[in-house]
Structure 1
């Protein structure tokens, strides 16, 4: 108890001796959009994925399950290290449906709080440790994940299974 009182007293002394004129607040950093954040941290494979996605999705950047299947199968055919037989139209329908379900505001981003359910709905019930690794790799600084990163992550998870 004595130690706690001394600690709190010390903190109060430090805080009360701060000269407010010496404190110059800085502007907060500009918020980063998930796309800009993702593009800055992409591997060569992810840049290729994004380029093909943009070419096939068109200006609206929306894809149908058929377009998604074409994109994914084209990309994985060039990567022998991905151990998958390709994507069926049913799996692509599921991916698009999951994104549509969990992207509630239509922004192309799944919120951090919805990601565990989105992965579970896609057939990947992740433990906390794996989920945290995925968030650090594929999400923006707020833990949100855009469609490209979500699909890219699902491709990797599928190849690992």
Structure 2
């Protein structure tokens, strides 16, 4: 109805092409009404009132037909829903655009394999992409972890060194023992023990998924679980953390 009203009002003097189109159609419809009425009046001579009325009726029928056609087209318009899913490639492009705006974050950039791994971990419905809620959850975490990364990079090197790592992980909500920290450093840090931003985020995404999987099994909140292999596989596979077969 907004479309119809805009046309009939002649675009309301709107700016640009939209106003011109509305004005053009409004003028044409006005011309049909006035022109047909005038023609009927001229043909009727002294009894022009009747002729004018007949011409006006014809114009109104034309106008009614135009309105009906526009209304029907508007009612049948069914646009495709927007793509609300994020693929690994799209995630990579988004994250790399973000880090280019933060030169204080040392990183080689997010590679496609890293982003595929992150999507697999977060893809709870196994579509191969991140849905809206999945991406929102990840994005909010990344913003929070970025602030923690900067906070615990006390020497402003742009990386998190091995001595800074425990504090950063605890601030993110992950309390690990020394053995796990050593494993993480060997996996995600360079030969000097420094972890750059993309490895920091990649590691935390996996930790978050594993912690959520564990909590889903820890029904009574004791911090301990006793399960068989099938009970472990179900929630862990649901969070994209795959166990070896």
For normalisation by structure 2, the TM-score amounts to 0.35
Cα deviation for residue 112 of structure 1 reads 1.2
Report the CA distance between 1:114 and its aligned residue.
Answer: 1.0
Q: 1:157 to 1:106 in 2, by over 3 A?
A: same
Structure 1 or 2, whichever has the larger Rg, is 2
2:119 aligned to which of 68, 75, 79: 79
Q: Is the 8 A contact 2:121 2:206 kept in 1?
A: no
How far does residue 105 in structure 1 lie from its aligned partner after superposition?
3.1
Question: For this pair of structures, how many residues does the alignment match?
Answer: 105
C-alpha spacing 1:124/1:83, structure 2 compared with 1 (3 Å): farther
Cα distance between partner residues in 2 of 1:151 and 1:78 = 9
Q: What CA distance in whole angstroms lies between the structure 2 residues aligned with 1:78 and 1:148?
A: 11
Structure-1 residue corresponding to 2:152: 102
* Structure 2 segments unaligned to the other structure (5+ residues): 1-87, 106-114, 125-133, 212-245
Could you say which structure has the greater relative contact order, defined with CA pairs below 8 angstroms and 6 or more residues apart? 1
CA–CA separation in structure 2 for the residues paired with 1:152 and 1:78: 7
Counterpart residue number, 2:187: 137
Unaligned runs of 5+ in 1: 1-44, 64-74
More helix by share: 2
* Alignment partner of 1:122 is 2:169: no
Tell me, in whole angstroms, the C-alpha distance in 2 between the residues paired with 1:117 and 1:100.
Answer: 12
